[in-house]
Amino acid sequence: MAAHVERARHEVSGELRLGISLCGNVDLESGDAILVPNLGWRNPPFGKLVSRRFQLPVRVATDARQAALAEAVWVPGVNERNFAWATVGAGYGGYLFLNGRLYGGAHGFAGNFGHNTYDAGRSRILSTLAQAGIISARAVFEAIELGDAAAAAIVDQAIRLICINLGAVVNLLDIKLIARGGGVTKAAPWLVERINQAIRAYLMTDEAQRALRVWRESTVYAALWAATRRNYTICCGGTRWCAAWRRNGTA
């Protein structure tokens, strides 16, 4: 982060602002990292600490929220007022875009799909599977390509659980689009199409089966929301950095 900030200070005229997206629950107003499971964080004043370190205004948000916003604003093919953005990577989660707006719920934490139980009477959650590495290891996908039956069974089970989970989201909200991102999706591009096919078995209506689209996310500029009309922003999303900075919120 420091290298990008220093480069911007030397090469950009005008006010600098820093936009950061984290994999976890973030308080949009304070920038506090309420819960970032993969880093073991609970309630550190992350935004204030970064702002103090670089002496810059900082805005912090959940990475899934920013990815959903980027999908809605910068992807011409979306054209949906209601959709979900979902990811499998450091964890399993997502965010909702409903009635033409981001939907965060009462605390801004809506979209934690991985924390829903999937087996009645048991506390088994999808996020536990993702964090345990069951479907996050690239080696599993490489083994499938080599014909490994055990690896194929692992991914088949993961796809079934994801489809049960996201099928419930579709049935509850009557959405027509799910955009998928995350490291696992990037590691196995064919995964999205398999989910797109398999999820039909868990949809309630014929209309949902016909209309639903599941596709790969179309943009990585998850932190661009921090840009304003008169400010330059250096963007960070998860562990991916945008080395370029943008003016007026456009490329």
Q: How many CB atoms lie within 10 A of CB 217?
A: 21
Share of the chain above pLDDT 90, in %: 31
Q: Measured between alpha carbons, how far is residue 6 from residues 11, 37, 56, 70, 180 in Å?
A: 9, 30, 12, 26, 33
Would you state the pLDDT for residue 204? 94
Would you state the pLDDT for residue 229? 34
Residue range(s) occupied by CATH 3.30.420.40 in the chain: 2-64+220-247, 76-216
> Within 13 Å, how many C-alpha atoms sit on residue 77's CB side?
10
Give the dihedral sign, CA 65/68/73/75.
positive
Is the full-model pTM beyond 0.85? Answer: no
Helix (H, G, I), strand (E, B) or coil at 175: coil
CATH number of this structure's domain 2-64+220-247? 3.30.420.40
Helix (H, G, I), strand (E, B) or coil at 234: strand
Per-residue pLDDT of 57-90, as tens digits, reads: 998 988 888 888 888 877 766 778 999 999 887 6
Per-residue pLDDT of 3-14, as tens digits, reads: 888 888 888 777
The architecture that CATH gives domain 76-216 is 2-Layer Sandwich (3.30)
Residue 121 has pLDDT above 80, yes or no: no
The residue with tokens 């209601």 is 82
Residue 163 near residue 201 (C-beta atoms within 8 A): yes
Residue 193 has pLDDT above 90, yes or no: yes
Residues recorded for the chain: 251
Would you state the pLDDT for residue 249? 36
Q: Measured between alpha carbons, how far is residue 116 from residues 3, 15, 168 in Å?
A: 39, 42, 10
Mean predicted lDDT score pLDDT of the chain = 78
Would you state the pLDDT for residue 232? 47
